[in-house]
């Protein structure tokens, strides 16, 4: 008969030391018994299947064992055997889920509490799911729990402690049971499989443990189901098919498609999942678990104890983590969380999940707000170092005057216009930042194409340099495919880009130092030379230089613009690099500069 029992009952813990994942609670209870510091009412709270009712029965055995009270009951005396079988006269178990009314409480507890135990040391009432009692039933129970006879103990269990009245909680010792770590569940499942003579790999055990979601009972029931499906030899594919779980390789392939920004490949993986009949919400949750493991690998490394995955999976995840940044993972997790909620309530869950996967694939093209601010700060520092503004001018101008930007169709005041130079390459139009859409994070502002300088009305616009050759366009397209947009932008702003022999020469105007510096770094230089080798099939050396100004003094005056107007003192608001960047980005004009009032408004 024992062999016909389900695994969860057959392997139910019989002593405090066998309860997995609740060592702090079982140690406290064992010490209280050993030192005779018993309480008359205990409340065990926690998720389903983590050992609340099991611990209550072990506590009852420890108190009523013929050798007790003892933290190590014998398990063979009549009292221990009857309590384990839920047939003891002195240990009454009540299911509050099906006995919710006041009459049930009166009949089971209130009317019998004054009668002493028939044989054992204590009369113990175990009330499961106590939060489901009615209000009147709680009122009837309150007085009894507050002042019970010395031979009576109450052990209550609940999965929703917030529904238990405070008047009850205040009269109990409350123990909160935690969900069990997947590693501990995996170890227990391995012990069960070994005892039953079942062959099963670590990946399959880990998948079953994840399916338990922190519940030992649920995990053991899942193992029982898989054994019924596959027999004594179980593979990861058997687990996926029996429990409707998505396999590790499928999850990895989906995230690899997102890392490659390949939306089509991600949707194709989803199509396969739908064809196999897997639950889409389970797929979302498994994908979130996968992302969480990737983030831990990025932060703590593959050897961290925080990572709850078998070694084979960790090695594969480590390779995938190299393709994603921490920001990419967090952004994808945020999108996936929203998608899982939409899948749950939508009449077309597949469509919602497809949209979510496309968002995750395209989100990698976005830069963070911090990077945008860093670029603006770097631009301001570059302009300050060139003498365009004195140090702190931006802050000073912002604290004394306000500039309002208006659409370009609005007329600017007479005698003052702002000229915007056009990019020297039509391909730059293709490299605009993607729309914000609802990717949960705004796109960053790119640095202005060129410096904005005040000019008099009717002044001729500067002639853009000639277009690049086809070879240079191929090089830019290759860099763009590698998401090296800062380098492409710098090449677009160059005065000339020439390829002669084995040397790529990029020449900038004297006022374009910010773009020149973007190419002079070691990483940027290596990226350009690697792209040249890929495009042209030979090694190319990059040379970056500045053209000499014919009249340095005049060039400096034109580049910086007038520092002071005839009717005002201090730096001009239009010359503030932040204002100029905003006007350039939003295609506006400075139409009015106002002084703050006395209240600082």
**Each residue's pLDDT tens digit, 161-194:** 999 999 999 999 999 999 998 889 999 999 999 9
How many C-alpha atoms does 415 have within 13 Å on its Cβ side?
Answer: 2
Phi, psi for 127 (deg, rounded to 5) = -110, 110
Domains annotated on the chain, with CATH = 2-177 (3.40.50.300), 182-243 (1.10.8.60), 248-363 (1.20.272.10), 470-546 (3.30.300.180)
In the prediction, which pLDDT does 393 show?
A: 44
CB 125 within 8 A of CB 83: no
pLDDT over 50 (residue 51):
yes
**Each residue's pLDDT tens digit, 389-408:** 444 444 444 433 343 444 44
Rg (CA), the chain: 36
Length of the chain (residues)? 601
In the prediction, which pLDDT does 245 show?
A: 80
In the prediction, which pLDDT does 368 show?
A: 63
- What is the H or E stretch that residue 124 is in? strand 123-128
**Average pLDDT over all residues of the chain:** 78
Task: Compute the average pLDDT of residues 150-157.
Answer: 93
With 0.85 as the threshold, say if the pTM is over it: no
For the residues of 185-245, what is the DSSP string, one character each? Answer: HHHHHHHHHHHHT-EE-HHHHHHHHHHHTT-HHHHHHHHHHHHHHHTTEE-HHHHHHHHTP
| Helix, strand or coil, per DSSP, at residue 445 | coil
Phi, psi for 401 (deg, rounded to 5) = -140, 155
In the prediction, which pLDDT does 557 show?
A: 40
- The pLDDT confidence band at residue 416, using thresholds 50, 70 and 90, is very low
- The pLDDT confidence band at residue 567, using thresholds 50, 70 and 90, is very low
Task: Compute the average pLDDT of residues 356-380.
Answer: 78
Q: How far is CA 229 from the centre of its chain?
A: 35
In the prediction, which pLDDT does 535 show?
A: 86
323-356 burial, b for 16+ CB within 10 Å, e for fewer? ebeebbbbbbbbbbeebbebbeeeeebeebbbeb
Task: Compute the average pLDDT of residues 519-543.
Answer: 84
Task: Compute the average pLDDT of residues 532-541.
Answer: 85
pLDDT over 70 (residue 452):
no
Is 116 exposed, middle or buried (CB count within 10 Å of its CB: 0-12, 13-18, 19+)?
exposed
The number of beta carbons lying within 10 Å of the beta carbon of residue 377 is 13
| Helix, strand or coil, per DSSP, at residue 91 | strand
**Each residue's pLDDT tens digit, 201-234:** 888 898 898 888 889 999 999 999 999 998 889 9
In the prediction, which pLDDT does 470 show?
A: 78
């Amino acid at each position: 008969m024992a062999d016909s029992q389900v695994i969860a009952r057959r392997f139910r813990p019989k002593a405090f030391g066998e309860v997995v994942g609740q060592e702090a609670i079982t140690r406290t209870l064992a010490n209280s018994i050993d030192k005779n510091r018993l309480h008359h009412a205990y409340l065990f709270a926690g998720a389903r299947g983590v050992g609340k009712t099991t611990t209550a029965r072990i506590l009852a055995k420890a108190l009523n064992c013929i050798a007790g009270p003892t933290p190590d009951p014998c398990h063979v005396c009549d009292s221990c055997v009857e309590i384990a079988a839920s047939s003891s006269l002195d240990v009454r178990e009540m299911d509050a889920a099906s006995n919710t009314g006041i009459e049930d409480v009166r009949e089971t507890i209130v009317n019998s509490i004054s009668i002493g135990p028939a044989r054992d040391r204590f009369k113990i009432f175990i009330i499961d799911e106590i939060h489901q009692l009615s209000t009147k039933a709680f009122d009837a129970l309150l007085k009894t729990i507050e002042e019970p006879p010395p031979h009576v103990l109450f052990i209550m269990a609940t999965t929703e402690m917030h529904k238990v009245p405070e008047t009850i909680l205040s009269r109990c010792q409350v123990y909160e049971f935690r969900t069990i770590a997947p590693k501990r569940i995996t170890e227990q499942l391995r012990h069960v499989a070994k005892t039953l003579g079942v062959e099963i790999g670590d990946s399959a055990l880990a998948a079953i443990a994840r399916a338990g979601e922190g519940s030992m009972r649920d995990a053991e029931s899942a193992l029982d189901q898989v054994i019924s499906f596959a027999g004594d030899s179980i593979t990861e594919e058997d687990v996926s098919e029996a429990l409707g779980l998505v396999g590790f390789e499928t999850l990895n392939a989906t995230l690899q498609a997102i890392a490659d920004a390949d939306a089509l490949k991600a949707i194709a993986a989803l199509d396969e999942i739908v064809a196999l009949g897997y639950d889409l919400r389970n797929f979302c949750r498994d994908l979130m678990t996968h992302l969480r493991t990737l983030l831990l690998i990025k932060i703590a490394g593959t050897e961290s104890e925080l990572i709850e995955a078998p070694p084979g999976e960790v090695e594969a995840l480590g390779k995938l983590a190299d393709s994603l940044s921490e920001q990419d993972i967090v952004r994808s997790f945020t999108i996936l969380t929203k998608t899982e909620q939409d899948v749950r309530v939508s009449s077309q869950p597949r469509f919602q999940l497809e949209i979510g996967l496309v968002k995750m694939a395209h989100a990698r093209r976005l830069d963070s707000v911090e990077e945008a601010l860093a670029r603006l700060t770097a631009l301001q520092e570059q302009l300050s170092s060139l003498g365009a503004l004195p140090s702190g001018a931006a802050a000073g101008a912002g604290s004394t005057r306000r500039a309002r930007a208006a659409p370009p169709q609005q007329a600017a005041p007479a005698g003052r216009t702002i000229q915007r130079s056009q990019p020297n390459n039509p391909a730059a139009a293709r490299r605009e930042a993607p729309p914000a859409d609802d990717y949960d994070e705004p796109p960053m502002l790119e640095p202005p194409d060129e410096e904005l300088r005040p000019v008099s009305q009717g002044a001729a616009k500067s002639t853009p340099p000639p277009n690049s050759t086809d070879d240079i366009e191929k090089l830019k397209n290759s860099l763009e495919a590698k998401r090296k947009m800062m380098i492409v932008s710098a090449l677009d702003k160059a005065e000339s880009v020439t390829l002669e022999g084995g040397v790529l020469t990029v020449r900038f105007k004297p006022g374009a130092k910010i773009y020149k510096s973007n190419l002079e770094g070691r990483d940027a230089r290596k990226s350009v030379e690697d792209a040249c080798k890929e495009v042209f099939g030979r090694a190319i050396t990059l040379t970056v230089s500045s053209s000499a100004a014919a009249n340095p003094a005049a060039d400096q005056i034109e580049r910086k613009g007038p520092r002071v107007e005839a009717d005002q003192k201090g730096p001009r608001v239009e010359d503030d690099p932040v204002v100029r960047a905003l006007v350039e980005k939003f295609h506006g004009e400075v139409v009015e500069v106002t002084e703050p009032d006395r209240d600082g408004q």
